[in-house]
Amino acid sequence: MSQLKIYNTLARDKQQFVPIVAGKVGMYVCGMTIYDYCHIGHARMMMAFDVIYRWLKASGYDVTYVRNITDIEDKIIKRAVENGETIAQLTSRFEQYMDEDTAALGILPPDATPHATDYVPQMLGIIELLEQKGLAYPSDDGDVNYAVRSFPGYGKLSGKSLDDLRAGERIDINMGKRDPLDFVLWKASKESEPDEVKWASKWGSGRPGWHIECSAMSCATLGKHFDIHGGGADLQFPHHENEIAQSEGAFGQPMANFWVHNGFVRVDNEKMSKSLGNFFTIRDVLKNYDAEVIRFFILRAHYRSPLNYSDAHLDDAKAALTRLYTALAGVDSGVDAVTVDWEESHAMRFRAAMDDDFNTPVALAVLFDLVTELNKSRAPALARQLKALASVIGLLERTPNAFLQGSGKGADELSPAAIAGMIDARIDAKKQRNFAESDQIRADLLAVGIILEDKPDGTTNWRRA
């Protein structure tokens, strides 16, 4: 049996993970609202659950990972109208950009990516069920709202009591509501809105509220009761709290056994957000840093901890990742496909770290301990083990030269062929004992970020700074 423990926000503690069905895991994660480029905070969230997905599979589970697409929402409608394009044109374009960004970062695609607009009938079915149970009511303005005070468990995820919740704090006050804490399940259509965001219902033309979308999509793909529900810490309240109220109110059983939330990305000790103007898109960061460096940077922090973004931290991540790849360089591991020897001591420590709520910082520390031994022995078996363990969390999946020579400073200035030519010229200069020219070539290469690795038998390799 797996020794995996996961921090459960609902229990406010680490708990032994036991799946509902032995050997199988259903995991639903709230995904992107696609109307703009993904930023590094989105990358952090998707990376966190990518690692969880990878480790569950490495632990032998048959995993069904669902990460939804929100393709109908106020911001999407506003942006499409501003751009003079259809909702579908806007969302399909930014979904493609998201897929390109996540692929670059080595984030595996989920097993299912339900789109909200494909599940409106299921949403209407849940809303009708809630109305029958006295948990939903239509208002005079045409909206259908959830009656929060009629659901006894409201607040159990966030730890907020109804008395603590004040109208106006992240809750839309609407005169059509019986209580300011109530939230909308179905929004009545406005004449100004495009026809493509209007669906027929027993309550009139309208569109779904944000919260009901995830209740419907998770139920349709994983069932009424599943193992893990995840998302960013900012979704704990009100979004996930409202999902619980909807799903458990409608179906009368727990929605998910484990609620998992990743921490925020911070810039200069402030939460990264568009409103503060301190956010960075994945695409912007990829212009300056290798994608695997970004992945390594994110994995150095525990998924529940704040992640402090800065160029200095990314530079440090690059230096650390370079150390891992340099250790592999020049060691013939014998085979391209490598598998982990889980009986080996480093692997056992790696497993213990990952079983402790996916503790990637400790797992990475194990890799560096392995590097220390590899640098001493240059043993192919240790190189294979290093590569295999790292690949479990999506690292070291290229050849050393592909990383060391493929990107970084000088990548646009000198091609590998040009560098090889300068190295040959330097070798010739050394043979002719023209050390001044040899030193000048080395200095010229260093000036554009090319570092030569000299050994007693000559210059055997190079890398970009």
Q: Is 240 annotated as a binding residue?
A: no
239 is in an annotated binding site: yes
Do 57 and 140 belong together in one domain?
A: yes
Q: What pLDDT is attached to residue 137?
A: 98
The residue segments making up the domain with residue 395 are 267-404
394 Cα distance to chain centroid: 12
Determine the Cα–Cα distance for residues 349 and 389; give it in Å rounded to an integer.
Answer: 11
175 and 47 share one domain = yes
Residue 49 lies in a domain: yes
Question: Across the beta sheet with 307-308, what order do the strands follow?
Answer: 270-271, 265-267, 307-308
Has 30 been labeled as part of a binding site? yes
449 and 370 in a common domain:
no
Final residue of a structural domain among 244, 262, 280: 262
DSSP letters of 369-407?
HHHHHHHHH--HHHHHHHHHHHHHTT-S-S-HHHHHTTS
274 is in an annotated binding site: yes
Q: Is the domain of 100 the same as that of 241?
A: yes
**Domain presence at residue 410:** no
Same domain, 192 and 131: yes
Residues 6+ apart with CB under 8 A from 414: 422, 445, 448, 450
- Same domain, yes or no, for 122 and 76? yes
Looking at the 3D structure of the chain, how many domains does it have? 3
**Domain presence at residue 362:** yes
| Cα of 61 vs its chain's centroid, Å | 20
Q: Is residue 111 part of a domain?
A: yes
Q: Please tell me whether residues 227 and 175 are part of one structural domain.
A: yes
Q: How many CB atoms lie within 10 A of CB 318?
A: 21
Query: b or e along 392-404 (b: 16 or more beta carbons within 10 Å of the residue's beta carbon)?
Result: bbbbbeeebeebb
Based on the fold, state whether residues 91 and 214 are members of the same structural domain.
yes
Same domain for 168 and 25: yes
Write down the mean pLDDT value for the chain.
Answer: 91
- Beta carbons within 8 Å of 82's beta carbon, 6+ residues apart: none
The answer to whether residue 88 sits within a structural domain is: yes
Find where tokens 């390109």 sit.
100
Upper half-sphere CA count for residue 125 (Cβ side, 13 Å): 10
**Residues 55, 89 within the same domain:** yes
The predicted structure's pLDDT at residue 1:
52
Residue where a domain terminates, one of 230, 262, 294: 262
Q: Is 243 annotated as a binding residue?
A: yes
| Domain membership flag for residue 112 | yes
Per-residue pLDDT, 335: 63
pLDDT attached to residue 450: 73
Which parts of the chain register pLDDT below 50? 167-171, 410
Which CATH number is 383's domain given? 1.20.120.640
State residue 455's pLDDT score.
Answer: 65
Same domain, 108 and 187: yes
Residue 285 region by backbone torsions, left for phi larger than 0, else alpha for psi between -120 and 50, else beta: alpha
Domain-ending residue, one of 262, 288, 321: 262
For position 174, what pLDDT does the model report? 58
CATH number for the domain that contains residue 208? 3.40.50.620
Are 61 and 105 part of one and the same domain? yes
**Has residue 411 been placed in a domain?**
no
409 lies in a domain?
no
